[in-house]
Structure 1
Amino acid sequence: MPRLSMEQLSVEWAALNQKFPAQVRQFVLEFCCEHSLDLAQHFYSEMLQDPAASLFLSHDQVHSRLQGSMQRWIAGLFAASDDEALQRLIAEQKKIGEVHARIDVPVHLVLRGARCLKDRFVELLDQAGTQAEGQRLAAARLLSDTIDLAMEIMSHAYSVSHDRNSRTEEAYRLFAMTQNIASEKERQRAALLDWENQLMFDQAVGLQAAQLPRIHASEFGLWFRHKGIHAFEGTAEATTIMEIMEQVDDTLLPLFDEQPEQKVQRLRELRDRVKVIRFSLDHLFEQNNALEAGRDVLTRLLNRKFLSVVLTKQVSYARDKGTPFAVLAVDIDHFKTINDSHGHEAGDRVLQQFATLLINSSRAGDYLFRLGGEEFLMLLVDTGADGARRAAEKLRQNVAREVFRLPQEQSLNVTVSIGVAGFDGHPDYQQLMRRADEALYQAKHSGRNRVVVAQ
């Protein structure tokens, strides 16, 4: 569907409602409220028969929470009475679509669920038999059209979010393979030079234009089209490189046959274009691009950019392999006081030394993030809640013993509060993050310098 604004979607939803008399809309609202439990139970009984759906719906918390949410959602589709309420309703559909994308629920399952709801609604209407046939038909059409519109909005939000997640995941895959940005830069410069040298050689030995190597098919071209373009998405340099690659393959190389007397001039043009590619590539690697943006500049830990990718992968792996993992939400106590009393340079020193301590407290497979300010997150792989609690307590003690060195030979001691949450099988990683954040909140508001494990 097109990228309609909230106002446009409100107009479309209002226009749909206006197609039906007020008494029909009121009847559908009351009927859905009356039978919301039946509809929700039917939805789950039908969906759980699908092996793919059971992966997402069999978890106890999902079942208990979403059954109530489904009841509210069904009735809520027909309860909006003004434009503001419609906008809230539309925002809810977008949020649902984004959640589906985050936990990777297949779209066909969502559409199947909608079909099951519509079928059950018609069955209940027929069983009730209190409405005339025309009224039952109008009620069925209103419900069907409304659910279809909700599905369109969800699907669009799903698509946008899924595409964004896919680009981030690809950038992370590239990032994970290229921890040394300088070496990746040199590797791609060398690949570009190899293509250029091969082209010059093939042209010198008299190959026809059609036989000359295309930059799109070169090692550099493959890397840039399938990885680099996503990592550097949105930059002017990336657009320039793609445009030049198209010009070289589609326009410049064919001219070597058509205008042989201008071969030297064509070679100069080719060399100039390659220089622009090389310059643009250098600039991409030097600026704060998508690769380097994966790390916090100050601490060199991962930042939020790849948090969703890492957690999504870990949830998928844990559910597939049956292995545990846990997250530690870590916050340096009274960090603002450090900045206020000793200055921001001292605060930066504390953050850097603390990051080093985190690295020394982690294993090779663990992940370390700086989420912003004095907030950090540790993801401990192959570790249950009890092991994570012990690791958190050891970290807390190590921090308390550490002497943090400040400028002008000053020093101080700091403490941390830690919230621990073990993965419990829920497919949405944000639920795990919320539990860790709530535990951290309890730790900070019950005296700080302590570890709290989420229940």
Structure 2
Amino acid sequence: MPRLSTEQLSMEWGALNQRFSAHSRVFILDFCQRHAQPLAEHFYQQMLQDPGASPFLSHDQVSSRLHSSMQRWVAGLFAPQTHEDLLRIIAEQQKIGEVHARIDIPVHLVLRGARAMKVEFIRLLLADGRLCGDEYLEVARLMSDTIDLAMEVMSQAYASSHDRNSRTEEAYRLFSVTQNIASEKERQRGALLDWENQLMFGLATGLSIAQLPRIRTCEFGVWFRHKGAHAFEGTPEASQIIHGMVQIDDVLLPLFAEEWRDRVPQLREMRDLVSTIRFNLDHLFEQNSELEAGRDVLTRLLNRKFLPVVLSKQITYARNHGAEFAVLVLDIDHFKRINDGYGHEAGDRVLQQLAALLVNNSRAGDYLFRLGGEEFLMLLVDTGLNGARRAAEKLRASVEREVFRLPQEQTLSVTMSIGLACFDGHPDYQQMMRRADEALYKAKEGGRNQVVQAI
């Protein structure tokens, strides 16, 4: 069934209101304004009792904002409604539905909360005692029908946004192996071999178990956990690679601490596991070909298309594994002067050279995006505040030292401002992006060529 337009929804909402008397509409508005707080609190308490809701609602900012938002929402549904009011109310319900889809709150939890709120409304209405008979039934019906219509508008927006996100996610899953299949294959084979050589050297020189490199935290392991596992999700080869890494880090390596053991069987098993990982990795790459959609033509970095998918996946990973990550929003200072003074070809050269510099200063598991114009974004996986701050300062200094080469043998010095935001547990990636953007704005306002951390 096609989604109703905003105009059609406003007509339906207006027709709903016309079915009830003006007295009932005035009464319910006053009633909801006076009882908005207990209704919101009841909604929140009922939702938190569901184990499926706590991951979304337990965050401090969500909790504090939800109470006030719910109070405004309850009263706003029954406010005086001109055509413009109805369009605004419908837009609000659609925005709520889109946010729910973005942070992946199950629809049934929202509907359960609405049902609980209607029950509480009836309880409060009975306790109020001012209405009885037909008046009571009319107000109860107006309340129930209005909340149901609001839920319908939310659900339509949720379904549309969720379908769109799902299509983008599937496209990204196929694409996320990154730049070039052949070069990425060799890069990751090399990273796996490098880890294996470091491990053998560490064992030969008598390093303690704590000092031996873990496969899950080496260059290959970080790449596979954050990119490869998602790109090849659902394949038996990916599952076997993950299983092999767990076996190596959690089962085999601890055995080397036992002095009395003969190490030869463990070394053979280690070799077999690494060979299996390498075989499965080769097989996965052979099954996939290069996909270019979603890559910026000029810089070859990812474009905005996959940013929501990447951020959502990273938030889910961080919440499930207790991991940290950070985003850096980077902007070239006075870029317009470069285009105006040297021409757009020179500006393109600067963007391309900067993109190469960012790639060379990132790890395999990190993500790089060109957001548009002279603005870039770097997502740093498995990185807390101190590590992100060091990485940002290193990038800023590297750009400041770099000699940017322009057409006709010209050179140029460039600086960059950076806004930094660390994941704080909030389930909506837009909140993190806003914090990073605000930090970038402060860096610009504070004189440029600096790193500012989001509050």
Question: Does the residue aligned with 1:294 lie in a helix, a strand or coil?
Answer: coil
Partner of 2:293: 293
The 2-side partners of 1:434 and 1:171 are apart by 26
Aligned residue type for 1:17: N
Question: Does the residue aligned with 2:3 lie in a helix, a strand or coil?
Answer: coil
- Corresponding position: 1:438 with 2:400: no
The 1-side partners of 2:360 and 2:75 are apart by 53
Question: Does the residue aligned with 1:51 lie in a helix, a strand or coil?
Answer: coil
* Deviations, residues 75-115 of structure 1 (Å, cap 9, x unaligned): 11111421011001101111111111110000110100110
Partner of 1:75: 75
Question: Does the residue aligned with 2:170 lie in a helix, a strand or coil?
Answer: helix
Partner of 1:448: 448
Uncovered stretches (5+) of structure 2, i.e. residues with no partner? 184-230, 232-288
Q: Percent identity?
A: 73
User: How far is the alpha carbon of 1:178 from its aligned partner?
Assistant: 7.1
Partner of 2:418: 418
The 2-side partners of 1:76 and 1:387 are apart by 45
The 1-side partners of 2:68 and 2:83 are apart by 25
Aligned residue type for 2:163: D
TM-score (norm 2): 0.75
Partner of 2:135: 135
Are the equivalent residues in 2 in contact too, given 1:80–1:86 (CA < 8 A)? no
Uncovered stretches (5+) of structure 1, i.e. residues with no partner? 184-226, 228-284
The 2-side partners of 1:148 and 1:80 are apart by 19
**Residues 26-425 of structure 1: pairs in structure 2 closer than 5 A:** 26-177=26-177, 179-180=179-180, 291-425=291-425
Question: Does the residue aligned with 2:408 lie in a helix, a strand or coil?
Answer: helix
Aligned residue type for 1:36: A
Aligned residue type for 2:12: E
Question: Does the residue aligned with 1:419 lie in a helix, a strand or coil?
Answer: strand
Partner of 2:2: 2
Deviating above 4 A after TM superposition, structure 1's stretches of 4 or more consecutive aligned residues are: none
The 1-side partners of 2:437 and 2:178 are apart by 31
Are the equivalent residues in 2 in contact too, given 1:181–1:292 (CA < 8 A)? no
User: How far is the alpha carbon of 1:429 from its aligned partner?
Assistant: 0.5
Are the equivalent residues in 1 in contact too, given 2:396–2:416 (CA < 8 A)? yes
Question: Does the residue aligned with 2:79 lie in a helix, a strand or coil?
Answer: coil
Aligned residue type for 1:367: Y
Are the equivalent residues in 2 in contact too, given 1:29–1:75 (CA < 8 A)? yes
Are the equivalent residues in 2 in contact too, given 1:77–1:89 (CA < 8 A)? yes
Question: How many equivalent residue pairs?
Answer: 351
Are the equivalent residues in 1 in contact too, given 2:10–2:83 (CA < 8 A)? yes
The alignment's C-alpha RMSD in Å is: 1.6
User: How far is the alpha carbon of 1:176 from its aligned partner?
Assistant: 1.9
TM-score (norm 1): 0.75
Are the equivalent residues in 2 in contact too, given 1:303–1:369 (CA < 8 A)? yes
* Deviations, residues 179-215 of structure 1 (Å, cap 9, x unaligned): 44799xxxxxxxxxxxxxxxxxxxxxxxxxxxxxxxx
Question: Does the residue aligned with 1:301 lie in a helix, a strand or coil?
Answer: coil
User: How far is the alpha carbon of 1:2 from its aligned partner?
Assistant: 3.4
* Deviations, residues 142-174 of structure 1 (Å, cap 9, x unaligned): 111011111111111111111111111110111
The 2-side partners of 1:104 and 1:130 are apart by 41
The 2-side partners of 1:179 and 1:358 are apart by 14
Question: Does the residue aligned with 2:176 lie in a helix, a strand or coil?
Answer: helix
The 2-side partners of 1:293 and 1:448 are apart by 33
Are the equivalent residues in 1 in contact too, given 2:405–2:412 (CA < 8 A)? yes
